[in-house]
Amino acid sequence: MNKDQDINPRVLNHISASEGALSQQVYLSIKNAILGMEFRPGQNLRKALICDQLGVSRAPVAEAITRLASEGLVDVVPQSGTRISYFSMPEIQEGVFLREALELAVVRKVTRHLTEDQGRILNRSMRLQTLLVEDDDISGFYEADEAFHELLMSFTGFDRVADVAQTVSLQVSRARRLLLPTPGRIVESLEEHRAIVDAILARNEQDAQDAMRRHLGQLMPRIELLHERMPELFNRATSEGREIA
């Protein structure tokens, strides 16, 4: 019945001998495997296999799984098992909503308090992004894109904003990696970033928010396409919104 429901833990990054708590390394290792879709939705995690593969005991693995569960990346069924969570459109919509709420507040604050240094750094980021688009370096632009948003958040002067934004939209991030970025799309993204930066530099709060909203608005339709194309990655929600399987 269950052909390959179980996970092949060979994809886990071996624990580097580097510093850092063991449970943290286990956490990152599994998290990366999930976000990179090397663990597919529905597969169940086998603690024993993970322990063998990483050469650690169950304690740090248990702690890592607890954290992943709190972030919604895995569903843990007491006394039964732990499975990689399916995508769920309601959850993703909520993640997009939360993300937009934060990004808009960030843009508002940054526009209001932008320093000259920050302006220079923004321009520098845009030049880098332009370069990457000219070179059709899609994965490079992907990274620069994330860095751009993190940059804006760091300009608020708050430390946790970026973390919170990442956490509330983890499911979105996971889905986003399946949206094959096209040369056409990164050109659009670049233009949208340009509009955001222009509005910020012009100290135009409303324009900056609108530009950010337009930028983020591109995401949801593309995820809906993914939903149609790969429905097996999504759960079937019951009437109560509860999940099956």
Partner DNA sequence: CTTATCATTCTAACATGTTAGTTGACAAGC
Partner DNA sequence: GCTTGTCAACTAACATGTTAGAATGATAAG
Contact positions vs a second copy (CB under 8 A)? 21, 63, 66-67, 70, 78, 90-91, 93-94, 97-98, 100-102, 104-106, 109, 156, 158-161, 164, 168, 241
Give just the sign of the alpha carbon dihedral 157, 177, 225, 148: positive
56 binds, among DNA, a second copy, none (CB under 5 to 8 A by kind): DNA
Q: What's the CA gap between 192 and 198, in Å, rounded? A: 10
Q: Are 7 and 210 in contact (CB under 8 A)?
A: no
Minimum CB separation of residue 173 from a second copy in Å reads 16
Minimum CB separation of residue 79 from DNA in Å reads 4
Q: Are 54 and 27 in contact (CB under 8 A)?
A: no
- Of residues 179-218, which lie at the interface with DNA (CB under 7 A)? none
- Residue 51 CB-half CA count within 13 A: 10
The number of residues in the chain equals 245
Cβ neighbours of residue 212 under 8 Å, at least 6 residues apart? 100, 103, 104, 107, 196
3-state secondary structure of 20: coil
| Segment lying near DNA (by CB under 7 A), choices 74-82, 94-102, 139-147, 209-217 | 74-82
- Of residues 39-58, which lie at the interface with DNA (CB under 7 A)? 45-48, 56-58
Minimum CB separation of residue 58 from a second copy in Å reads 11
What letter represents residue 26's amino acid?
V
By CB under 7 A, residue 63 contacts DNA:
yes
For residue 92, what are its two tokens? 């993703």
48 binds, among a second copy, DNA, none (CB under 5 to 8 A by kind): DNA
Q: What is the 3-state secondary structure (H, E, C) of 25-40?
A: HHHHHHHHHHHCCCCC
Phi first, then psi: give them for residue 243, nearest 5 degrees. -95, 150
For residue 131, what are its two tokens? 């370069």
Burial grade of 232 (CB within 10 A; 0-12, 13-18, 19 or more): exposed
Minimum CB separation of residue 244 from a second copy in Å reads 17
Cβ neighbours of residue 194 under 8 Å, at least 6 residues apart? 126
| Segment lying near DNA (by CB under 7 A), choices 35-43, 79-87, 115-123, 196-204 | 79-87
241 binds, among DNA, a second copy, none (CB under 5 to 8 A by kind): a second copy
By CB under 7 A, residue 67 contacts DNA:
no
By CB under 7 A, residue 13 contacts DNA:
no
| Segment lying near DNA (by CB under 7 A), choices 75-83, 90-98, 151-159, 187-195 | 75-83
By CB under 7 A, residue 78 contacts DNA:
yes
Using the rule CB under 7 A, which residue among 59, 179, 202, 230 binds DNA?
A: 59
Query: Which residues of the chain form contacts with DNA (CB under 7 A)?
Result: 1, 21-23, 45-48, 56-60, 62-63, 65-66, 76-82
